[in-house]
């Protein structure tokens, strides 16, 4: 093999060992970023759905705590005292708050307790994450 051919072969093998070019690195980073964004969007959607599920479970748990209170006291707390009565009578350790950090609304309707969460916005009405959930809803009763 001639000296010129050996030098050319040596240079080619050195170029192959140098690694990726800047363009290749940018393409890889872009692909990874797009994948991470897609996973992030899906995860946020799951998180929001999980908060609604937690609120439904909380409503059921509060209903159960109210049943325990009723068994102890013979009546449900009045609307003015609300869910604080569950804490004062040691049925619950702390006053419950919904997954969006709003207090649950308690009222008596026809002698029956009703617990409501107004969703993410904390105000009556709304749709999607702002939908109101109540113990009167069939979706809560499972």
Residue ranges of domains in the chain: 31-134
CA atoms of 7 and 43, how far apart (whole Å): 54
Average pLDDT over residues 89-118: 91
> Phi/psi of residue 126, each to 5°?
120, 175
> For residue 109, what are the β-bridge partners?
112
3-state class (DSSP) for residue 125: coil
Q: What would the pLDDT profile of 18-64 be if each residue is shown by its tens digit?
A: 667 889 899 999 999 999 998 888 887 788 788 888 999 999 999 99
pLDDT at 73: 92
Q: How far apart are CA 118 and CA 132, in angstroms?
A: 4
Average pLDDT of the chain is 85
Distance, in Å, from the CA atom of 101 to the CA atom of 2, rounded to the nearest integer, reads 79
What CATH architecture does domain 31-134 belong to? Answer: 2-Layer Sandwich (3.30)
What pLDDT sits at residue 34?
93
pLDDT in tens, 6-20: 666 766 665 556 667
**Order of strands across the sheet that contains 112-117:** 105-109, 112-117, 133-134
Please give the pLDDT value at position 66: 94
């Amino acid at each position: 093999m001639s000296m010129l051919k050996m030098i050319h072969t040596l240079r080619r093998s050195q170029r192959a060992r140098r690694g990726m070019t800047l363009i290749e690195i940018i393409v890889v980073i872009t692909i990874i970023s797009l994948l991470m964004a897609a996973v992030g969007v899906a995860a946020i959607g799951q998180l929001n759905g999980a908060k609604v599920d937690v609120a439904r479970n909380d409503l059921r748990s509060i209903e159960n705590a109210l049943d325990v209170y009723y068994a102890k006291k013979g009546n449900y707390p009045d609307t003015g005292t609300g869910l604080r009565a569950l804490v004062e009578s040691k049925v619950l350790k702390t006053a419950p708050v919904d997954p969006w950090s709003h207090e649950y609304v308690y009222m008596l309707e026809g002698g029956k307790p009703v617990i409501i969460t107004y969703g993410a916005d904390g105000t009556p009405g709304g749709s999607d994450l702002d939908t109101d959930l109540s113990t009167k809803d069939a979706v809560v009763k499972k």
